[in-house]
Amino acid sequence: MSATDDRDVLAPDRGTIMSAEMAEQPAVLRRILAEGAPSIRAVAAEIAARNPRFVLLTARGTSDNAALYAKYLIEVLLGKPAGLTSMSTTTAYGAEPDLRDCLVITVSQSGGSPDLVASTEAARKAGAITLAVTNNADSALAAVSEFHIDVLAGPEKALPATKTYTAELLALYLFVEGLRGGDTSPADLLPALARDVLDRRDEVAELAQRYRFAQRLVITSRGYGYPTAREAALKIMETSYIPAQPFSGADLLHGPLAMVDNVSPVIAVVPDGKGGDALQPVLERLRGRGADLMVIGNADQVGRASAGFVLPEGVAEEVQPILEIIPLQLLAYEVTMARGLDPDAPRALAKVTETR
């Protein structure tokens, strides 16, 4: 009996939890729009009245990629400077920055990581407006923050985060639009479109066969798509253990492109809009090097690649990441299953990390 067959016998239900939680995403998105949006807008209005001059975002892992997405939203839609914090400067080094008139947003699925709690406490002590975005209203992080947004994803049991990630993205989008009193109608179609993407699972399962024996992957994008590339790489690494390296398209051209050849698989997330336009020179270089290129994007971009997944059209660029990640979550799942592993319980991972 092969090792793969042995795993199948030992774990006949492997992957069922992650699979079920990915399938919940349309319902979660619908819940946020119907039940969460009013309270998110109310929190945004209170914070907007205090007119923070800049924003810092704090997170780990998957939530760090959601925070990066929020950074793009804040800088593009609000015109405010935004940055990702280095928590160790306060939790390990004891730094005491002046955070008056600063909004500190801490994003965490569990809200239980001690370093996130300590960092948020330090930020509030330093004069910051503090906002926790979590999937647990009763968490320690929510308790120490001045404001809280519940992403309403429900319990997530699989170690790889899926539904909490897209829930965080939508909650952060609604919050940022709320800060400027903007129109959130571009999000209204997301639940139905997410269901349409999930219903094309067989397409992803076929694509997954390309990467079953891959030794490494490169994932690239620009603009709003870059957090998607980072999250996709994380999902693939933590489930299938394939080294997946995410690069901004601009960074890929500054040296790492040299490691790409005709046997090095590359996945490109190509948004419709300015991010996708900025990625075109990178795609030309990749095609010129004969790269095995898979594109997540529109039909034209997919048609010019070795393979790909066509995303729904007519979606505003700032909310496309909520759909872009779903076929890549499915890809991570299908590759992992094809390799005889269990995506529900990757080795050496835990839901709540304890770092300083």
State pLDDT tens for residues 270-302. 999 999 999 999 999 888 888 889 999 999 999
Residue 156 φ/ψ, nearest 5 degrees: -120, 115
Is 205's pLDDT higher than 70?
yes
- Give the whole-angstrom CA distance, residue 197 versus residue 329: 11
Q: Hunting for tokens 């170690």 — which residue is that?
A: 159
d(CA 295, CA 351): 30
Alpha helix ranges (H) inside 74-131: 88-91, 114-125
CA 239, CA 242: separation in Å to the nearest integer?
8
The whole-angstrom separation of Cα 113 and Cα 184 is: 31
Confidence of residue 4 (pLDDT cuts 50, 70, 90): very low
Structural domains of the chain, with CATH: 18-187 (3.40.50.10490), 190-338 (3.40.50.10490)
Tokens matching residue 1? 């009996």
Q: What does the pLDDT average to over 109-130?
A: 94
pLDDT at 348: 53
pLDDT bucket at 194, cuts 50 / 70 / 90? very high
List the structure tokens of 295.
């594109």
Cβ–Cβ < 8 Å for 295, 302: yes
- Per-residue pLDDT, averaged over 132-153, amounts to 97
Q: Where are the alpha helices (DSSP H) in the chain?
A: 3-10, 16-23, 25-31, 37-49, 61-73, 88-91, 114-125, 140-144, 163-179, 190-198, 201-208, 225-240, 249-253, 274-288, 299-303, 320-338
Q: How far apart are alpha carbons 25 and 154 in whole angstroms?
A: 10
Strand, helix or coil for residue 78: helix
Find residue 335's DSSP bridge partners.
none
Kindly tell me the sign of the dihedral angle through the C-alpha atoms of 232, 237, 242, 244.
positive
- pLDDT mean over 245-252: 89
Answer yes or no: is pLDDT of 9 > 50: no
Number of H helices and E strands in the chain, helices first, is: 16, 10
Mean pLDDT of the chain: 91
- In angstroms, the CA 261 to CA 55 distance is 40
Specify whether 125 is catalytic: no
pLDDT at 167 over 60: yes
Alpha-carbon dihedral 10, 13, 19, 21, rounded to 10 degrees: -110
pLDDT of residue 93: 83
Q: Nearest 5 degrees, angle CA 251-CA 257-CA 263? A: 140
- With beta carbons less than 8 A apart as the criterion, state whether 167 and 181 touch: no
Q: How far apart are CA 53 and CA 283, in angstroms?
A: 37
DSSP string, 85-99: --THHHHTT------
Q: Out of 166-175, 231-240, 252-261, 305-314, pick the least confident.
A: 252-261
Tokens 């971009």 -> residue: 301
- Sort residue 197 into left (φ over 0), alpha (ψ -120 to 50) or beta: alpha
Q: Where are the alpha helices (DSSP H) in 162-224?
A: 163-179, 190-198, 201-208
Residues in the chain: 356
Torsion of CA 263, 267, 272, 278, to 10 degrees: -70
Would you place residue 207 in the very low, low, confident or very high pLDDT band (cuts 50, 70, 90)?
Answer: very high
pLDDT tens-digit readout, 257-274: 766 766 679 999 999 999
| 220, β-bridge pairs | 247, 268
Integer Cα distance of 179 and 103 in angstroms: 12
